Chains A and B, each alone.
Chain A
Amino acid sequence: MKFSKIFLLSILLIIVIAITGFSVGSAAPIQVDYWVGFTGPDRDVMKSLVEEFNRTHPQIEVDMMSLQWSPLFSKFMMEVRGGTPPDILTMHLFEMGQFANAKLLDVKMVKNVGLKKADYSPKLWNASMYNNVQYAVPLDYQMHGLFYNKEIFGKAGITAPPATGEELIKIGQKLTIDKNGKNASETGFDPQNIVQYGLGMMNNHHGFYMWWGLMNQEGENKTFTATMKKATFNDAKAAKAWTYLKDLVFKYHIVPKGEKSPYDDFKVGKVAMLIDGPWEIPGLDKVTDLKYETAPVPQVFEHNGVWGANTLLTFPVKAKSSKQQAAVTFVKWLTDNSAAWAQCGMIPAKLSTLSEVKKMPHREAFVSETDYVDFLPPLPKAVQVFSSVAPSPILTASQNVLLNNEPVREVVVQMKKDIDTVLTSN
Chain B
Amino acid sequence: MRKKGKIAFWFLLPFLIVFILFRLGPSIAGIFIGFTQWDFTGGVKFAGIANFQNLLKDGYFGISVKNTLCFLLITVPSLVILGLLFAALLNKKIKGRNLGRTIIFSPYVIMPAAVGIIWNWIFDNNFGIFNYYLGIIGIKPIEWLTSGKWALFSVSIVTVWSLVGYNMILYLAGLQGINNELYEAAKIDGANGFQTFIKLTVPMLRPVTSIIITLANGFQTFIKLTVPMLRPVTSIIITLTLINTVQIFDQIYVMTGGGPGTATLTMVQYMYNEAFQNFNLGYGSAIGFMILLFLIILVTIQSKFLKSEV
Q: Which residues of A contact B (CB under 8 A)?
A: 70, 74, 77-78, 80-81, 102-104, 192-194, 197, 203-204, 256-260, 265, 270, 381, 383-384, 387-392, 395-396, 399-400, 403-404, 406, 422, 425-426
**Are A270 and B277 interface neighbours, CB within 8 A?**
no
Known A260-B120, A260-B145, A391-B262; further 14 A-B contacts with Cβ < 8 A: A102-B41, A193-B135, A259-B126, A260-B121, A383-B277, A387-B277, A388-B257, A391-B60, A391-B270, A396-B261, A403-B261, A404-B147, A404-B260, A426-B37
**Complex contact B261–A260 (CB within 8 A):** no
Q: Does B279 lie at the interface of the complex (its beta carbon under 8 Å from any beta carbon of A)?
A: yes
Report how far A220 CA is from B41 CA in the complex, Å: 34
Known contacts A259-B125, A270-B126, A390 near B258 by CB under 8 Å: yes
**CA–CA, A392 and B258, complex, Å:** 10
* Residues of chain B lying within 8 A (CB to CB) of residue A387: 273, 277-278
Q: By the criterion CB–CB under 8 Å, are A391 and B125 in contact? A: no
Q: Are A258 and B145 in contact (CB under 8 A)?
A: yes
Could you tell me if A403 and B262 are in contact, using CB atoms closer than 8 angstroms?
no
User: What per-residue 1/0 map shows which CB atoms of B117-135 lie under 8 Å from chain A?
Assistant: 0001100111100000001
* Contacting pair B127 A257 (CB below 8 A): no
Tell yes or no: B250 within 8 A of A by CB.
Answer: no
Q: Can you give 11 contacting A-B residue pairs, CB < 8 Å?
A: A78-B40, A102-B42, A204-B259, A258-B147, A390-B256, A390-B261, A390-B273, A391-B265, A391-B273, A399-B259, A426-B37
CB of B174 closer than 8 Å to a CB of A: no
Alpha-carbon distance between A358 and B125 when the two chains are bound, in angstroms: 38
The B interface, classified by DSSP as helix, strand, loop or mixed, is loop
* Given A390-B269, A390-B273; A396-B262 close (CB under 8 Å): yes
Nearest A-chain residue to B283, judged by Cβ: A425
B277→A256 contact, CB < 8 A = no
Contacting residues of chain B (227-282) with chain A, CB-CB under 8 angstroms: 256-262, 264-265, 269-270, 273, 276-280
B37 to chain A: closest residue by CB:
A426
CB-contact partner of B127 in A104, A265, A425, under 8 A: A265
Distance (Å) between the CB of B280 and the closest chain A CB? Answer: 8
**B91 is an interface residue with CB less than 8 A from chain A:** no
Does the CB pair A403–B259 fall under 8 Å? yes
Contact A389 to B258, CB < 8 A, known contacts A74-B276, A403-B146? yes
Docked CA distance A47–B277 (Å): 27
Bound-complex Cα distance A191 to B63 (A): 33
Contact of B40 among A80, A194, A391 (CB under 8 A): A80
Q: How many residues of B contact A (CB 8 A)?
A: 37
C-alpha spacing A2/B258, complex, angstroms = 69
B285 to chain A, nearest CB (A): 15
Q: With the chains together, A219 CA to B124 CA distance in Å?
A: 37
| Interchain CB contact under 8 A, A257 and B125 | yes
> Are the C-beta atoms of A74 and B41 separated by less than 8 Å?
no
Known interface pairs A396-B261, A399-B261; A258-B276 also in contact (CB < 8 Å): no
A417 to B279, CA, bound (A): 20
CA distance A204 to B259 in the complex (A): 9
Determine how close the nearest CB of chain B comes to the CB of A297; give it in whole angstroms: 23
Known contacts: A74-B277, A257-B125, A258-B143. The answer to whether A403 contacts B41 by CB under 8 A is: no
Report chain B residues within 8 Å CB of A78: 40
Contact with A along B49-87 (1 / 0, CB 8 A): 000000000001001000000000000000000000000
Cβ of B140 within 8 Å of any chain A Cβ, yes or no, is yes
B residues sitting closer than 8 Å to A (CB atoms) are: 37, 40-42, 60, 63, 120-121, 124-127, 135, 140-141, 143, 145-148, 256-262, 264-265, 269-270, 273, 276-280
Number of A-B contacts (CB under 8 A): 105
Give the nearest-CB partner of A103 in chain B: B41
CB distance from B16 to the nearest CB of A (A): 26
Q: How far is the CA of A381 from the CA of B41 in the complex (A)?
A: 14
Interchain CA distance A165-B159 in the complex, whole Å:
43
Cβ B145 vs Cβ A77 within 8 A:
no
Contacts of A104 in B (CB 8 A): 41
Task: Tell me which of A193, A391, A400 has the highest count of chain B C-beta atoms within 10 A of its own C-beta.
Answer: A391
- The smallest C-beta distance from A152 to any residue of chain B, in angstroms, reads 17
Known contacts A192-B141, A260-B120: does B273 contact A389 (CB below 8 Å)?
yes
Tell me the smallest distance from the CB of B32 to a CB of chain A, in Å: 17
Q: Tell me the complex Cα distance, A422–B60, Å.
A: 13
Complex CA distance for A406 and B147, rounded to whole angstroms = 12
Q: How far is the CA of A389 from the CA of B273 in the complex (A)?
A: 8
Task: Flag if B40 contacts A258 (CB, 8 Å).
Answer: no
Nearest CB on A from B126, distance (A): 5
- Given the known interface contacts A390-B265, A396-B262, A403-B147, the answer about A260 and B40 at a Cβ–Cβ threshold of 8 Å is no
Contacts of B257 in A (CB 8 A): 204, 388-390, 395
> What's the least CB distance linking B277 to chain A, in Å?
5
B259 with A390: CB separation less than 8 A? yes
Q: Report the separation of the CA atoms of residues A78 and B281 in the bound assembly, to the nearest whole angstrom.
A: 11
- B residues near A70, Cβ cutoff 8 Å: 277
- Tell me the smallest distance from the CB of B164 to a CB of chain A, in Å: 26
**From residue B26, how far is it (CB to closest CB) to chain A in Å?**
14
Shortest 5 CB-CB contacts between residues of A and residues of B: A258-B146, A390-B258, A403-B260, A258-B125, A77-B40
Nearest Cβ in chain B — how far from A380, in angstroms? 11
Residues of A within 8 A of B37 (CB): 426
How many Å lie between the Cα of A390 and that of B271 in the bound state?
11
User: Which one of A203, A390, A396, A399 has the highest number of Cβ atoms from chain B below 10 Å of its Cβ?
Assistant: A390
**Complex Cα–Cα for A388 and B65 (A):** 21
Q: Which residues of A contact B41 (CB under 8 A)?
A: 77, 80-81, 102-104
* Least CB separation from A193: chain B residue: B135
